[in-house]
Amino acid sequence: MIPVRGHEGQTIAVLGLGRSGRATAAALKAGGADVVAWDDGPSGREAAEAEGIELRDLTRASAYEGVSLLVTSPGIAHLYPAPHAAIQAAWEAGVPVDNDIGLFFRSFAAEGFEEFDTLPRVVAVTGSNGKSTTSALIHHILVENGRPAQLAGNIGRGVLDLDPPQDGEVVVLELSSYQTELARALTPDVAVLTNLSPDHLDRHAGPGGYFAAKRRLFAEGGPDRAVIGVDENEGRFLANQLATAAADDRVIAISSGRKLQGPGWNVFARKGFLSEWRKGRQVASVDLRDVPGLPGAHNHQNACAAWAVARSLGLGPRGIEAALRSYPGLPHRSQRVAEKDGVAFVNDSKATNVDSAAKALAAFPRIRWICGGLEKEGGLASLAPQLSHVAKAYVIGREAEAFALKLPGVEAEICGAMAVAVARAMEEAEPGDTVLLAPAAASFDQYDNFEKRGEDFVAEVRARL
């Protein structure tokens, strides 16, 4: 646990009592604060009471008497489409609002750091797609090369649930736009933007607000080094804003699909080969085509980001390459579930938006595509360039028929349920095909989350092998 400092003897309110909320309450208590908390759901309140957390209805203005700070969980809207009633009440009472990420960065440096030979460092990864894989891959590379490391944030453990850092340790955080937008402190040593595509637009009032939330990690934090995906205009803009000259190697540009030139520090992947260039010359190259845990151009972009971070932390090319080859992949993200009779089965349930689904489709030559769910804003039009890879679509979800109508030129079967889709895809698959779950939609019409959807796919596949 990372005890939260600076609030000794103060009363701090915590809104949202899921995993991160309860960890925040515990870390505040460990730092000497008094904690009151609230959750809209009775199960959250019951869990908190069982852990000895005092409950107080924070939607009431009177609840903030004597409260110094409100700490809110990332899933709770604090501005758009409308602020939660408890956050509005905090505003009215003049109580500052923060989240666990802000508390973490203010509390990370602990007594005893001055005795370490190498100060602990924080790597923070954000972006629309690939941030989970990139974060896990960075962590894997560090561990495989003998560097102490922990992984937390939007993946795995809550940030305040981490162990106090060791000498030379690297903490790798995956941060969503919900987390970066509100945190009052953002001071990573290395910050990463993988890419940007439309997502969570209701929470940020459009693409401009979404980019602004991501940009805070760099503009507010002032990292020693920034790794920026420059395949979109927003990334190119950000890299240009951060660099003071063309050769400024505090900014490492990464790309998937095009060669990056110039005197700066660049890492890019083309046709399956990763290349690192510094000061106008190539210093390393790796063939990624046969790396099993990183299939497709989108994963090659993740590899570029992880490579850039590892190199900025002083790791050598050979050690990084060996770790890339041993990376097992993450569940629900291009996860190879099984192979039988020349047919591969891949779970990419995390492909909850059109951009991530398009990248998954581009990774395989001939696909039996399981798709559908709760469609997000923006429609499905940008999938068109990759639909030529689809032999047939098997559409799930409550609005499966409407979803299928938005896939022009693709043979589509309305399946509704996952069990039906998997059964039909397996019946019709031929050697060389990939049965791919890449829904291009949220899961909430049928499942609690994308993990449950992916687990259902895996279970249905394995039950039929």
What does the pLDDT read at residue 159? 95
5 inside domain? no
| Token pair in block for residue 196 | 């940007």
Q: Which among 403, 61, 386 is positioned nearest to 413, based on CA atoms?
A: 403
195 and 302 together in one domain: yes
375 inside domain? yes
With 90 as the cut, is the pLDDT of residue 333 above it?
no
Asked if residue 277 lies in contact with residue 270, where contact means CB atoms within 8 angstroms, the answer is no
SS3 state at 243: coil
216 inside domain? yes
- Residue at a domain's end among 66, 98, 130: 98
| Mean pLDDT of the region 188-205 | 90
With 80 as the cut, is the pLDDT of residue 378 above it?
no
What sections of 314-387 are H helices per DSSP? Answer: 317-326, 354-362
174 and 118 together in one domain: yes
78 and 108 together in one domain: no
CATH number of the CATH domain containing 451: 3.90.190.20
How many Å apart are CA 198 and CA 165, to the nearest integer? 35
What does the pLDDT read at residue 11? 97
450 inside domain? yes
- Please tell me the total count of domains within the chain: 3
CATH number of the CATH domain containing 172: 3.40.1190.10
Residue 127 labeled ligand binder:
yes
Per-residue pLDDT tens digits for 407-421: 989 999 999 999 999
What does the pLDDT read at residue 170? 97
Residue 130 labeled ligand binder:
yes
What is the domain range of residue 49?
A: 11-98
Residue 382 labeled ligand binder:
no
- Residue at a domain's end among 326, 349, 381: 326
Name residue, tokens 């850092």. Answer: 165
With 80 as the cut, is the pLDDT of residue 281 above it?
yes
6 inside domain? no
Rg, C-alpha atoms of the chain = 23
129 and 236 together in one domain: yes
23 inside domain? yes
How many Å apart are CA 179 and CA 330, to the nearest integer? 22
CATH number of the CATH domain containing 75: 3.40.50.720
With 80 as the cut, is the pLDDT of residue 270 above it?
yes
What does the pLDDT read at residue 133? 92
266 and 201 together in one domain: yes
Per-residue pLDDT tens digits for 157-196: 899 999 999 999 999 999 999 999 999 999 999 999 999 9
- 54 forms beta bridges with 36
316 and 354 together in one domain: no
With 80 as the cut, is the pLDDT of residue 377 above it?
no
Per-residue pLDDT tens digits for 5-60: 999 999 999 999 988 899 999 999 999 999 999 999 998 899 888 888 999 999 99
What does the pLDDT read at residue 48? 87
Residue 132 labeled ligand binder:
yes
44 and 165 together in one domain: no
299 and 342 together in one domain: no
How many residues make up the chain in this entry?
465
Residue 128 labeled ligand binder:
yes
403 inside domain? yes
With 90 as the cut, is the pLDDT of residue 101 above it?
yes
How many Å apart are CA 373 and CA 446, to the nearest integer? 8
| Token pair in block for residue 439 | 């829904």
How many Å apart are CA 7 and CA 454, to the nearest integer? 41
Asked if residue 180 lies in contact with residue 101, where contact means CB atoms within 8 angstroms, the answer is yes
What does the pLDDT read at residue 328? 85
How many Å apart are CA 389 and CA 407, to the nearest integer? 13
Residue 131 labeled ligand binder:
yes
| Mean pLDDT of the region 121-150 | 96
With 80 as the cut, is the pLDDT of residue 66 above it?
yes
With 80 as the cut, is the pLDDT of residue 111 above it?
no
Residue 129 labeled ligand binder:
yes
What does the pLDDT read at residue 56? 96
With 80 as the cut, is the pLDDT of residue 156 above it?
no
With 90 as the cut, is the pLDDT of residue 379 above it?
no
448 and 340 together in one domain: yes
2 inside domain? no
SS3 state at 136: helix
pTM for this structure? 0.86
What does the pLDDT read at residue 64? 97
219 and 132 together in one domain: yes
45 and 180 together in one domain: no
| Mean pLDDT of the region 218-224 | 90
Phi-psi region of 66 (alpha: psi -120 to 50; beta: other; left: phi over 0): left
With 90 as the cut, is the pLDDT of residue 114 above it?
no
What does the pLDDT read at residue 352? 92
- Residue at a domain's end among 54, 79, 98: 98
446 and 368 together in one domain: yes
